């Protein structure tokens, strides 16, 4: 469909088995994501792309452990293990991901003091990545999401896409969740409430 784009979120080594922030079941979605890429004319990829010492890394804080939270200028923020550091193998796309067809690659999380789960707006909820302008300029009205992680970057991106006025579907089978403190159930509910179509299968 000419007005539809597939957005593949953060299918990077650090989120896959053996990576610094491995999401359970991540590797298994790659063939399904590739099948979706094969079926779409317009494909956008996103890449989590943090500088060393990024504020979302627990290691950047004194005595902090990953998977706890800290108070940032913009609010409560989860602290993560160091992951997807710019230019490192962990930040590369999964070796089997079919990236050739991608028309656009959006990098996010590069401001040292601000995390960015969403591909549209950083976690301060104010700094914009420019993706909605790009998609609207290209005439897309319907976005299909897949990738990692369902309950963080996929969910936040999909919800922001709805707020930007797009029709939105998430192909749940082609995602995997971190599920930290009930985040999977919570974000599935939030996505449904936002009017996002949650497809079970690819």
Contact residues toward ligand VGL (CB under 6 A) are: 10, 15, 48, 80, 117, 148-149, 152-153
Shortest Å, Cβ 139 to ligand VGL: 27
Q: Which of Zn ion, ligand VGL, none does residue 188 bind to, with CB < 5 to 8 Å depending on kind? A: none
Using rule CB under 5 A, residue 48 touches Zn ion:
yes
* Both structure tokens of 13: 């080594």
**Is-catalytic flag, 84?**
no
**Which of 10, 14, 82, 115 is an active site residue?**
10
**Is-catalytic flag, 10?**
yes
* Both structure tokens of 174: 């082609």
Q: Which of ligand VGL, Zn ion, none does residue 122 bind to, with CB < 5 to 8 Å depending on kind? A: none
Q: Which of ligand VGL, Zn ion, none does residue 10 bind to, with CB < 5 to 8 Å depending on kind? A: ligand VGL
Q: Are 124 and 2 in contact (CB under 8 A)?
A: no
Binding mask 102-121 for Zn ion (x = CB under 5 A): -------x------------
Q: CA angle, corner 193, sides to 44 and 139, nearest 5?
A: 30
Long-range contacts of 180-188 (CB under 8 A, 24+ apart): 180/67, 180/78, 180/151, 183/151, 183/152, 184/150, 184/151, 186/151, 187/150, 187/151, 187/152, 187/155, 188/150, 188/151, 188/155
Distance CA 96, CA 146 (A): 16
**Which of 48, 108, 115, 146 is an active site residue?**
108
Q: Which of ligand VGL, Zn ion, none does residue 140 bind to, with CB < 5 to 8 Å depending on kind? A: none
The values of phi and psi at residue 87, to 5°, are 80, 0
**Which of 84, 153, 160, 184 is an active site residue?**
153
Distance CA 74, CA 95 (A): 35
Q: Which is nearer to Zn ion, 34 or 56 (CB)?
A: 56
Residues touching Zn ion, count (CB under 5 A): 2
Q: Which is nearer to ligand VGL, 60 or 138 (CB)?
A: 60
Catalytic residue numbers read 10, 108, 153
Binding stretches for Zn ion (CB under 5 A): 48, 109
């Amino acid at each position: 469909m000419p007005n539809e784009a597939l957005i593949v979120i953060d299918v990077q080594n650090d989120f896959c088995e053996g990576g610094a922030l491995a999401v359970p079941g991540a590797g298994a979605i790659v063939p399904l994501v590739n099948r979706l890429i094969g079926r779409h004319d317009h494909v956008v990829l996103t890449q989590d792309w943090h500088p060393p010492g990024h504020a979302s890394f627990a290691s950047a804080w004194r005595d902090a452990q990953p998977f706890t939270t800290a108070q940032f200028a913009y609010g409560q923020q989860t602290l993560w293990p160091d992951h997807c550091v710019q230019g490192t193998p962990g930040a590369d796309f999964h070796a089997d991901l079919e990236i050739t067809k991608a028309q656009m690659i959006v990098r996010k999380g590069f401001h040292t003091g601000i995390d960015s789960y969403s591909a549209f707006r950083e976690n301060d909820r104010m700094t914009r990545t420019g993706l909605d302008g790009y998609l609207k300029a290209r005439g897309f009205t319907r976005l299909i999401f897949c990738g990692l992680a369902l309950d963080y970057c996929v969910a936040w991106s999909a919800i922001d896409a709805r707020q930007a006025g797009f029709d939105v579907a998430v192909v749940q089978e082609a995602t995997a969740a971190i599920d930290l403190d009930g985040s999977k159930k919570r974000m599935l509910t939030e996505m449904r409430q936002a009017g996002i179509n949650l497809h079970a299968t690819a």
